[in-house]
Amino acid sequence: MTAGALLTARAEVVPLDDHRVGTALDGLVDGSGYWSGSGALAGIERTARYLAGTWKPATPDEGPGTAGEGSWARFIGRIGAVAFRAAVEPTRDERRRRLLALLEIWADSPFAEPGSRMRTGLVRVAGGAPAAVRDERGAAVAVGWAAGGLRRFVDLRTGEEDPPSLGAIEEVRDVPRGGWGSAEQVRRLVHLVQERGPVPWDLDAVAVLRDGTGMGRAAASFALAGMLACGYLPRLDDTERKIHRLKVAEIEDGVREPGRMGSLDRLELAADVLPEDPAQLWEPHGMRAVAERIGQGWLERYGRRTVVPERTFSAVIELHPSRLSAGRFCAAFTDHAAIRGLGSNLDTWIRNSDFRPFPTAEDWGLVDFGDTLRAVVPNLFWVYAELPAGDPVRAGAPGLVRALQERLNHPGLLLDAGSLSHAVGRTVADVHDRFGSRPYVGPEPLDVASVDDGLTVVVDGTVDRRGARSQPELYFRPAFHGDDDRSRTLLAARAGSRYDPELGLVEWLRGPACARIVERIEGAALPSGSYETNPVVSAPDVLGQVVGELGIDEDAAALYLQLLTLRAPSDRNIRMWNGWKAARHQKAGAVLVERGLVIEDKRARAGRQLFLPGEWIHAGKPYQPMEAWKAELLGVERSYNGRLENPLPLPTRTLPELFAHAWELVQGAREPSP
């Protein structure tokens, strides 16, 4: 029999052995491009039978063939993760059929025999060497390629000595044993799915997992479906979305929440969560027991996050905070000590790359710190203003700010300060008069010229294929940045750009506006459950002035201040912040319309009917359209097309101060006007 023929007598498997096998295994294997062809199931079966001695190649140099790039070998001892995905309701039927076919093959293989003495690893194979070897000691099979010319292999020992080798073994480990996945268990699960259908979905089990770990609801739902990765688009089809009961934004956020989990991490999380008797999955609360086991595994690996209110989590999803998922964003506030890059100081250095030298640190710490810095600081005002007093995310803001400030005070931290201005120079040699001539010294010599004045490191650009040199890059040590000559030299040398924000974020975190916002959050002025956006509780003195001078009631005065100052005073937000029903809101608005203070209208993406007089500036998602008067008040700049499609500036006032400033403008005859 040739390597291209499927060995199983189950004829129905042959049509299933196509590129969709890789799709069905998404997130549990690596190298998706290697799975784009057909024959993966055949390759796995032939490998198993070669190891067991029940299949012999037609020619000595013919191997069993490969499946993907060979990462499927990790399924040995962890096949429970594949079985789990095959059993649950959210898995698409076309994928389930392929997973069940794989499981049937697996149950008939030595991979499912607990007594099999098997190893996996990496081997360096000489040119022309066979892809499989066998003798009286056992057998070894190359199952795929790895980096550096190495090959992944699986071997099976049948004698007392190690089995024959394909070459020089560079890495080897015994496969895990003792977990879920005996041949009997695998066969029984396949039979039950075929007989009863998939395990019915249990939304209460999702809640058990969410509440036990602090995951977001979408991530918990994906984990309970055995699919903490959704690399193929569309992420979910209509049937899957209905089962999970998730919106598109929740799905996209849930996909991002696990962060840098690899395929092995996902395998190990789900490998042993199935009950010893798979029939228990179909019993009442069967999935809840699975949720508890997944939760325990998650806690052992990643720890527990604070559970935040569902309303807060949903609001953060709508906020879409840069590179962070809603779960990671909330955890930065509630559990910042556990966030990589925030819990301890980072020692960084500049390393070479093909693109340009850049700062780095161990274990992704600097990447995570930068992602957190760029996500939470621009949105800190939103957390302070639009979450209620007592909310765990809002309450964690002062601690997060202090943690960021502590990390920024570490002399070993280097951050990006942007590019060198063309007006200053084109190479490092052009800035010796500003930054001196002492080169940067780090763990590895740089491939390009550099200077380091203690605060700023300037590194030359790299030359591309066309011979053009990129502009020099600037990096700075925030611990030494302040109000001194070196800092002013840095600011004067960098090319002005709102897209190089780290230096500005550092300055704002150390500035007076941030300090006053933290003071407001930590103060006792705001009753639990109330919002800073409601001037009745946050700015009663200003509210009293509006009531007195305009001769309107307190509700109308509060609504007027909110329409003057708040970025997104939608009807839904106003009623939530003020605790109003629709009738009360409409009554207050009618007073303002009658007095000519606001106008009624319908405008795209506003979510309200009341507007300040004057020009309205449109904006595309994710930016917020608003009145021109308010945009000027908040410092929001128009983009090149005249729309409001630039990031919000970092705030310079607390909300009580902003209410007061807006009212001062009105008092000074600079109110909104047609």
pLDDT in tens, 199-228: 999 999 999 999 999 999 999 999 999 998
- Compute CA distances 76 → 16, 17, 116, 182, 357, whole Å: 22, 20, 10, 11, 41
Helix (H) or strand (E) holding 318: helix 310-319
Together in a domain, 336 and 462: yes
d(CA 104, CA 45): 10
Together in a domain, 413 and 339: yes
pLDDT score of 236 more than 50: yes
Together in a domain, 445 and 375: yes
User: Is 522 within a domain?
Assistant: no
Together in a domain, 272 and 335: no
User: Is 488 within a domain?
Assistant: yes
pLDDT score of 232 more than 70: no
User: Is 409 within a domain?
Assistant: yes
Average pLDDT (34-39) is 84
| Percent of the chain topping pLDDT 90 | 79
Residue 653 confidence class, pLDDT cut points 50, 70, 90: very high
pLDDT in tens, 263-275: 999 999 999 999 9
pLDDT score of 380 more than 80: yes
The domain of 545 spans: 531-667
d(CA 40, CA 28): 14
- Listing DSSP states for 528-570 in one string gives TT--TT-HHHH-HHHHHHHHHHHT--HHHHHHHHHHHH-S---
Lowest mean pLDDT of 21-30, 181-190, 592-601, 650-659, name the range. Answer: 21-30
Domain endpoint, select from 458, 476, 509: 509
Together in a domain, 543 and 475: no
A 10 A CB-CB count for 283 gives 12
Domain endpoint, select from 453, 478, 509: 509
User: Is 123 within a domain?
Assistant: no
Report pLDDT for 356. 86
pLDDT score of 233 more than 70: no
Domain endpoint, select from 476, 509, 542: 509
How many separate helices (H) and strands (E) can be counted in the chain? 28, 15
Report pLDDT for 126. 82
Residue 355 confidence class, pLDDT cut points 50, 70, 90: confident
Q: Tell me whether the omega of the peptide bond preceding residue 622 falls within 30 degrees of 0, making it cis.
A: yes
Together in a domain, 270 and 381: no
Residue 610 pairs with which residues in a beta bridge? Answer: 600
Report pLDDT for 178. 87
Average pLDDT (134-153) is 89
Higher pLDDT, 234 or 390: 390
d(CA 636, CA 566): 12
* Tally of domains within the chain: 3
DSSP character at residue 88: B
User: Is 299 within a domain?
Assistant: no
Together in a domain, 272 and 331: no
Extract the tokens encoding 508.
Answer: 């704002």
Report pLDDT for 10. 56
User: Is 320 within a domain?
Assistant: no
Together in a domain, 412 and 332: yes
User: Is 194 within a domain?
Assistant: yes
Together in a domain, 346 and 439: yes
pLDDT in tens, 95-126: 999 999 999 999 999 999 988 999 999 999 88
Average pLDDT (27-40) is 86
598 alpha carbon, distance to own chain's centre = 41
Report pLDDT for 175. 94
Average pLDDT (43-61) is 87
- Compute CA distances 277 → 58, 178, 184, whole Å: 41, 15, 10
Together in a domain, 185 and 56: yes
User: Is 673 within a domain?
Assistant: no
Together in a domain, 362 and 489: yes
Together in a domain, 268 and 356: no
Extract the tokens encoding 473.
Answer: 């890059």
d(CA 495, CA 482): 19
Extract the tokens encoding 169.
Answer: 């073994």
Report pLDDT for 3. 41
d(CA 157, CA 58): 23
Average pLDDT (464-492) is 93
Average pLDDT (439-446) is 95
